[in-house]
Amino acid sequence: MRRLQTEFSDRQATLSTLSHRYWQEFLNLMDILQHFNCLVDVQPTTLGEIAAAIRGENELWLGLALASGQFDQLEAPQLTAACAALVTENSRPDTWTRYQISKAVELVLRGLRGLRHDIFKQQRQHQVMLPVWLEYEITAVVERWASETDWNELCDHTSLDEGDIVRILRRTADVLSQIPHVPHLSPQLIGNAREAIEILDRFPLNE
């Protein structure tokens, strides 16, 4: 009986510790959202509603990037590359492509650096560990696919294997497919996202 009591007490202590940790994580996230004007007290703002409507590994980063206005003037192929940059992690330092992103995409990604730095800073201060990706090189492959480059030619111009390319394209298509359903984004961005989805959706991506 004493052993059971000890085990029960240990489990209660563990549960209390976990509950406190999860509650603190929740409070930390609230602080970050308030910093970026996504919440006023506990009420979501326009930015908060944008971030809440997006699925991703870091909805705040995706929401603030899309709401920044930086993407509004991009044509459909350029928009695919910019969106890919937000959701692509290049974990292999030896990955290469012979393609380069267009100047318009490069300027947009540069324009997001300050926001990205601020999100990193806030997450670090509040001990929140979420990815804030901004990939330049690999996303050039996405832009070329959206510019209707042949699949075999695309594969010949990068060290990525076909499976990796398909995964990156599908992650990009997932973000693009969400944009028309996110409130408060510009009509131009929504229209270009719909066009970009159609461009991407061809063999082998649509298998």
For residue 47, being part of any structural domain is answered with yes
What is the number of structural domains in the chain?
A: 1
Element (H, E) at 52: helix 46-52
Handedness of CA 182, 53, 38, 72 (dihedral sign): negative
For residue 15, being part of any structural domain is answered with yes
For residue 195, being part of any structural domain is answered with yes
pTM value is 0.88
CATH assignment of the domain containing 96 = 1.10.3380.30
pLDDT band of residue 19 (cuts 50, 70, 90) is low
For residue 206, being part of any structural domain is answered with no
Q: Is 160 exposed, middle or buried (0-12, 13-18, 19+ CB in 10 A)?
A: buried
For residue 95, being part of any structural domain is answered with yes
Please give the backbone phi and psi of residue 147, each rounded to the nearest 5 degrees, phi first. -95, 15
Residue pointed to by tokens 């961005």: 189
Percent of the chain predicted with pLDDT > 90: 79
Sequence-distant (≥ 6) Cβ neighbours of residue 36 within 8 angstroms: 47, 60, 64, 118, 119, 122
What confidence score (pLDDT) does residue 15 get?
Answer: 42
**Secondary structure (3-state) at 39:** strand
pLDDT digits 0-9 by tens, 20-74? 566 678 778 889 999 999 999 889 999 999 999 999 999 999 999 999 999 999 9
Contact assessment for residue 80 and residue 56, using Cβ atoms and an 8 Å cutoff: no
Sequence-distant (≥ 6) Cβ neighbours of residue 90 within 8 angstroms: 135, 137, 138
For residue 9, being part of any structural domain is answered with yes
**Domain, as residue range, for 41:** 2-200
